[in-house]
């Protein structure tokens, strides 16, 4: 029949079979290479997905959901973790006013009208009806007070002249202005030039910046014994909060380290953030209680102390766990715990001097939540002493 292909002869069959086997082997090799490439692309795609998710997580980090400081939020409006209290600004209605009691008044000025607003008659002998009291709180005139110290040198019949102790120099500044300058420098963080400018403009005291530096050194020497006493008391405490924050000094990044309780605070400025600064501060290496801190790994060097993560960091990082969870696998426990803990645990001392405790979920409810999520996130045993 025309158009029907002719069948190979018996002599051509071996060559044809060999050719087909060769083509089959080539196809199998191409298929294996394609499968390997698909597997490689799948692994690369999975890696890129993980990397993309991590980059998105980092881009979404701010001071609300991570340990980043508010200064790292850029020009965005700062976000506070505090929940609205429902109270409006200012003094509550019906609350006591701010007027001083009669014994606390410095000056009393009487304002009396001279002429009647109705008949234009003189009011010098008119009856005084209710007196309305209004008080103005203001600063007194601020100026330096100069005290002259006259040192009398006295001599008895033996011929010895005895000199009294008193002011050490013919003209000098006293402890009041020195204390104010050190306070402005160290508590209000005024630069030395601006502190000198303030003293000159407000008090009329022309103080050189080198003199301010000398006063700061004198104060530091005067509180050495106090600093050592605070350090010793902190080491003996059951719970101590430890933290550090960066600052710029003479164009270099340095670190302000703190160790504190409700009644004790110790500061140290150091060029290093880690172990070298901890050793210089001398609290964490000798602490036998619990150090409440952030996740800075060098803190784990000291195993003699117990370690607890600061609840303020939990309250910032729990929202990040909920925000970054896959949509099909929401981390409900993180949102529940963040909502239950609220913000009360890091608002600082209340008016009565007590620090409010965070309101964590009831143990039974928390254990049930932990049981539900343990299958998804198995946790290793944690030793607080490590």
pLDDT digits (tens, 9 = 90+) for 316-333: 777 777 777 777 777 777
Question: Domain tally for the chain?
Answer: 3
In this structure, the answer to whether residues 245 and 290 fall within a common structural domain is: yes
301 in the same domain as 322: no
Amino acid 347: pLDDT: 37
Check whether residue 270 and residue 318 sit in a common domain: no
Counting other chains too, the contacts that 124-132 makes at CB distance below 8 Å and 24 or more residues apart are none
Say whether both 210 and 245 belong to one domain: no
**Is residue 150 a part of any domain in this protein?**
no
C-alpha distance from residue 17 to each of 8, 30, 33 (Å): 11, 20, 24
- Least Cα distance to 240 among 229, 232, 252 occurs for 232
Alpha-carbon Rg for the chain, nearest whole angstrom, is 38
Together in a domain, 350 and 337? yes
Domain range enclosing 341: 311-374
Same domain assignment for residues 240 and 303: yes
Regarding whether 352 and 317 lie in a shared domain, the answer is yes
Shared-domain flag, residues 203 and 242? no
pLDDT given for residue 136 in this prediction: 92
Identify the burial level of 314 via C-beta atoms within 10 angstroms of its C-beta, where 0-12 means exposed, 13-18 middle and 19 or more buried. Answer: middle
Is residue 85, in this structure, part of any structural domain at all? no
* pLDDT score, position 372: 64
Of 309, 327, 346, the one marking the end of a domain is: 309
Domain contains 30: no
The verdict on 282 and 266 lying in the same domain is yes
Rounded (10°) CA dihedral 35, 36, 39, 43? -160
Last residue of a domain, one of 287, 309, 331: 309
Phi, psi of 43 (to 5 degrees): -65, -40
Please check whether residue 18 lies inside any domain of the structure.
no
pLDDT given for residue 103 in this prediction: 59
Q: Do 293 and 328 belong together in one domain? A: no
What residues of the chain score a pLDDT lower than 50?
A: 343-360, 382-386
**Domain contains 98:** no
Q: Do 298 and 333 belong to one domain? A: no
* Three-state secondary structure string covering the chain: CCCCCCCCCCCCHHHHHHHHHHHHHHHHHHHHHHHHHHHHHHHHHHHHHHHHHHHHHHHCCCCCCCCCCHHHHCCCCCCCCCCCCCCCCCCCCCCCCCCCCHHHCCCCCCCCCCECCCCCCECCCCCCCCCCCCCCCCCCCCCCCCCCCCCCCEECCCCCEECCCCCCCCCCCCHHHHHHHHHHHHCCCCCHHHHHHHHHHHHCCCCCHHHHHHHHHHHHHHCHHHHHHHHHHHHCCCEEEEEEEEEEECCEEEEEEEEECCCCEEEEEECCCCHHHHHHHCCHHHCCCEEEECCCHHHHHCCCCEEEECHHHHHHHHHHHHHHCCCCCCCHHHHHHHHHHCCHHHCCCCCCCCCCCCCCCCHHHHHHHHHHHHCCCCCCCCCCCC
Q: Cα separation of 74 and 374, whole Å?
A: 38
- Of 185, 200, 222, the residue at which a domain comes to its end is 222
CATH code, domain with 296: 3.30.420
Residue 302 within any structural domain of the chain: yes
In a domain, 203, yes or no: yes
Q: Say what the pLDDT of residue 11 is.
A: 82
C-alpha separations of 215 from 76, 149, 172, 173, 181 in Å: 40, 22, 12, 10, 8
pLDDT computed for residue 201 by the predictor: 94
**Position 7 in a domain:** no
pLDDT for residue 346? 39
Same domain? For 300 and 319 the reply is no
What pLDDT, on a 0 to 100 scale, did the predictor assign at position 323?
77
Maximum alpha-carbon separation in the chain: 160
């Amino acid at each position: 029949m025309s158009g029907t292909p002719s069948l190979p002869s018996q002599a051509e069959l071996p060559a044809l079979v060999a050719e087909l086997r060769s083509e089959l082997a080539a196809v199998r090799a191409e298929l294996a290479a394609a499968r390997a490439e698909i597997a490689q692309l799948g692994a690369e795609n999975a890696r890129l997905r993980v990397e993309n998710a991590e980059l998105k997580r980092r881009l979404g980090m701010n001071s609300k959901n991570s340990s980043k400081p508010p200064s790292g939020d850029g020009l965005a409006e700062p976000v506070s973790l505090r929940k609205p209290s429902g109270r409006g600004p200012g003094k509550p209605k019906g609350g006591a006013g701010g007027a001083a009691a009669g014994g606390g008044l410095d000056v009393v000025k009487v304002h009396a009208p001279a002429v009647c607003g109705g008949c234009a008659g003189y009011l010098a002998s008119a009856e005084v009806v209710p007196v309305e009291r209004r008080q103005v709180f203001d600063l007194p005139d601020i100026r330096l007070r100069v005290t002259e110290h006259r040192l009398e040198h006295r001599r008895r019949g033996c011929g010895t002249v005895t000199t009294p102790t008193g002011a050490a120099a013919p003209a000098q500044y006293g402890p009041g202005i020195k204390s104010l300058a050190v306070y402005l420098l160290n508590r209000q963080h005024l630069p030395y030039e601006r502190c000198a400018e303030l003293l000159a403009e407000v008090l009329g005291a022309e103080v050189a910046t080198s003199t301010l530096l000398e006063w700061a050194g004198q104060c530091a020497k005067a509180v050495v014994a106090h600093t050592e006493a605070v350090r010793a008391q902190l080491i003996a405490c059951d719970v101590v909060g430890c933290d550090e924050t960066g600052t710029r000094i003479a164009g270099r990044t340095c670190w302000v380290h703190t160790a504190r309780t409700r009644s004790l605070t110790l500061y140290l400025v150091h060029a290093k953030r880690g172990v070298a600064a901890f050793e210089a501060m001398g609290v964490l290496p000798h602490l036998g209680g619990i150090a409440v801190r952030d996740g800075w790994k060098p803190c784990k060097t000291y195993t003699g102390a117990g370690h607890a993560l600061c609840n303020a960091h939990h309250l910032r990082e729990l929202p990040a766990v909920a925000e970054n969870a896959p949509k099909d696998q929401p981390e409900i426990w993180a949102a529940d715990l963040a909502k239950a803990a609220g913000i009360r645990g890091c608002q600082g001392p209340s008016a009565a001097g007590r620090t409010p405790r965070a309101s964590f979920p009831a143990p039974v409810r928390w254990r049930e939540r932990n049981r539900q999520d343990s299958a998804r996130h198995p946790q290793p045993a944690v030793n607080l002493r490590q």
